Structure 1
Amino acid sequence: MSGEPSLFSRASAEVVDLHRFFVDWFAAARANSVELGRFEAVMGEGFAMVAPNGQILDRDAVVDHVRTSRATCDDGFAISIEDIRPGWQDADTIVVFYIEAQLRAGKYSRRQSSAVFTTSSSAPNGVEWRHLHETWLQVPES
């Protein structure tokens, strides 16, 4: 057995790292400290997302949304990742479950997420996002 981190460890690190990127990208005060290339590099070809409202978005729509949302949040914007758990996996693919909690414009929200990752030697954590499904646990207060 090699000293390489497990697929679950790499996918978990990717979940945490990508959400750190989002906090920096969306917060106006930090938006210039990160580059979109990090995000684009981990969105695998054929990536699709089911948003919390049920809308299905393809890779281009997700990348475009992130690109155009740079610096749109105040300095209080925060994301925390909770309860990361492994789901099904094989040698090169894993499903990971986690809860994403956000504070945006003083309003809290939480969503249960499941993500599919495949291995990728060119990605920062050695995995690419292939599918993401988010479901509201706590919708932001109106």
Structure 2
Amino acid sequence: MSQEASLFSRASTEIVDLHRFFVDWFVAARADTVDFGRFEAVMGEDLTMIAPSGAILDRDAVIDHVWQSRATCDDGFAISIEDIRPGWRTDDTIVVLYVEAQLRDGKRSRRRSSAVFTTSSSAPNGVEWRHLHETWLQVPER
């Protein structure tokens, strides 16, 4: 396996794993079983996120938002990750594009995301999030 394929594979696994964490963290019935430290460990120190609204968030704001969202969803909350594909890359950095589909309170939404990952020997999947940009494809239904 080439280093590029390995980096893409690790980043893809990280995307899926992190969104599984979100479901477990946000669903009230499961929130007590989740290790929040796993989330903090993969958020790069200088992480930036552009939310679908256009707001720019730094690492602290992202971590605070996720922390505050603990146990705010019912058992029907779901996230699926679709259409994962590689973008620009170097030996230790990759841009990965994907679509995140959510079902929350019976309402669907979809967002296209591009995420920048760098290698990190201390992260669970060997990569950490450095930048995330999300754009609405389908705003949450009303």
Q: Give the shorter-chain TM-score range.
A: over 0.9
1:40 alignment partner in structure 2: 40
Superposition RMSD on alpha carbons, in Å? 1.3
Amino acid at match of 1:28: A
What does 1:111-122 correspond to in 2, within 5 Å?
Answer: 111-122=111-122
Are 2:124 and 1:86 equivalent residues in the alignment?
A: no
1:95 alignment partner in structure 2: 95
Are 2:46 and 1:50 equivalent residues in the alignment?
A: no
SS in 2 for 1:113: strand
Specify every segment of 5 or more residues in structure 1 that has no aligned partner in the other structure, as ranges.
none
Specify every segment of 5 or more residues in structure 2 that has no aligned partner in the other structure, as ranges.
none
Structure 1 position 2, deviation (Å)? 8.0
Percent same amino acid among aligned pairs?
81
1:11 alignment partner in structure 2: 11
How many Å separate the matches in 2 of 1:72 and 1:23? 10
- 1:2 to 1:131, Cα distance in 2 relative to 1, 3 A: closer
SS in 2 for 1:6: helix
SS in 2 for 1:141: coil
What does 1:66-77 correspond to in 2, within 5 Å?
Answer: 66-77=66-77
TM-score if structure 2 supplies the norm length? 0.96
How many Å separate the matches in 2 of 1:2 and 1:14? 18
Are 2:107 and 1:107 equivalent residues in the alignment?
A: yes
Structure 1 position 121, deviation (Å)? 0.1
1:26 alignment partner in structure 2: 26
> How many residues end up aligned between the 2 structures?
141
1:135 alignment partner in structure 2: 135
How many Å separate the matches in 2 of 1:95 and 1:89? 6
How many Å separate the matches in 2 of 1:40 and 1:48? 14
How many Å separate the matches in 1 of 2:2 and 2:94? 19
Output one character per residue of 1:21-60: Cα deviation in whole Å (capped at 9) or x when no partner.
Answer: 0000000011011111000000001000000010000000
TM-score if structure 1 supplies the norm length? 0.96
How many Å separate the matches in 1 of 2:2 and 2:71? 41
Output one character per residue of 1:66-104: Cα deviation in whole Å (capped at 9) or x when no partner.
Answer: 011100001100000000000000000000000000000
